[in-house]
Amino acid sequence: MSLNATELDALRLTVSLAAMTTAILLVLSTPLAWWLSRRQGNVTAFIEAVVAMPLILPPTVLGFYLLLLFAPSTVVGRLWHELTGSQLAFSFSALVIGSVIYSLPFVVQPLQSAFARVPNSLLQAAATLGATPLDQFRSVVLPLTRRSFIAAASLGFAHTIGEFGVVLMIGGNIPGETQVLSIALYDSVESLRFEEAHSLAAALVVFAMVLLFFLYRVEKGGSWRIRA
């Protein structure tokens, strides 16, 4: 079971897409999840609903709207073209943006529930000891929620690897640019190259299994509890 050049390209592309998406998601989700965990009300509920949408919407719906948004004729498409000199639709960048939106709930939700478990009383104690809000976050919240960051990053990464519908809609199937593993697999099956399809499918199954096993180990192994 070895991979040919096209498949290796697809693998490289998939991993870099997932890595980049995860990095962007961690940066975006941390403040968003913190904000959501400390507030209640209509605005919060609305934002939470928007973040959770990719969980229920068929990926093709999301992909369809993103495709319309990324078209060269729209403001977004034009602006992108002016800034980078290339078109957004059917590009690797489009895949990154799509994946960030698509995997957002998988990173925000574990972080949000971990942040919500950090008692306000500890932050108050830190504040009276001279810690600014940023310092409180860095020296109290982050150490207490470290494991959840690992879980959130792994989920975001894995979910991006498994993406299909959105990629198909906004990325198409350009080898080396937008042809990720799941698309390459679909391509192989379509053209009846079952041998190739087998190796790709098996690789994905093994990857998913290893990652999930590792995740559950982390969660159960040392799940911390807060005692005030």
Partner 1 sequence: MSTLLINIRYTSGNDFALTMHCELPAHGVTAIYGPSGSGKTTLLDCIAGLRHPDLGSEIRLGDTTWLSPALTLPPWQRRIGYVFQEARLFPHLDVEQNLRFGLSRSGQKAPLTYDEVADLLELTAFRSRHVDALSAGQKQRVAIARALLSAPRLLLLDEPLANLDHAASRDCLRCLQRLSQELRLPMLYVSHDIEEVSQIADHLLLLEAGRMVEQGSLLSLCSRLDTHLSREEKAAAILTATVAGHDSTFGLTKLSVEGQTLLVNRLPDAPGLQRRVRVPARDVSVCRERPGDSSILNIVGVTITEVEDTDATRLLLRLSLGSQHLLARITRKSAVELGLRTGDKVYAQVKSAALLIETVDHT
Residues in contact with partner 1 by the rule CB under 8 A: 121-122, 124-132, 135, 139-140, 143-144, 224-228
Write down the residue that tokens 């993406």 correspond to. 163
Minimum gap (Å) between residue 99 Cβ and partner 1: 33
Q: Which is nearer to partner 1, 150 or 189 (CB)?
A: 150
Burial 92-114 (b: 16+ CB within 10 A, else e): bbbbbbbbbbbbbbbbbbbbbeb
Between 150 and 204, name the residue whose CB sits nearer to partner 1. Answer: 150
Contact between 169 and 63 (Cβ < 8 Å): yes
Residue 221: CB minimum distance to partner 1, A: 16
Q: Residue 46 CB, nearest distance to partner 1 (Å)?
A: 23
* CB 119, min distance to partner 1, A: 8
Q: How far is the CB of 214 from partner 1 (least distance, A)?
A: 23
Q: Minimum distance between the CB of residue 139 and partner 1, rounded to whole angstroms? A: 8
Cα 203 from Cα 198, distance rounded (Å): 8
Task: Mark 16-46 as b/e (b = at least 16 C-beta within 10 Å).
Answer: ebbebbbebbeeebbebbbebbeeeeeeeee
CA distance 115 to 137: 10
| Nearer CB in complex with partner 1: 81/117 | 117
For the bound state, the minimum distance from the C-beta of residue 34 to partner 1, rounded and expressed in Å, comes to 17
CB nearer partner 1, residue 2 or residue 128: 128
Return the number of the residue (76 or 127) whose C-beta is nearest partner 1.
Answer: 127
Q: Which is nearer to partner 1, 75 or 228 (CB)?
A: 228
By beta-carbon proximity to partner 1, the closer residue of 16 and 139 is 139
Distance CA 139, CA 116 (A): 16
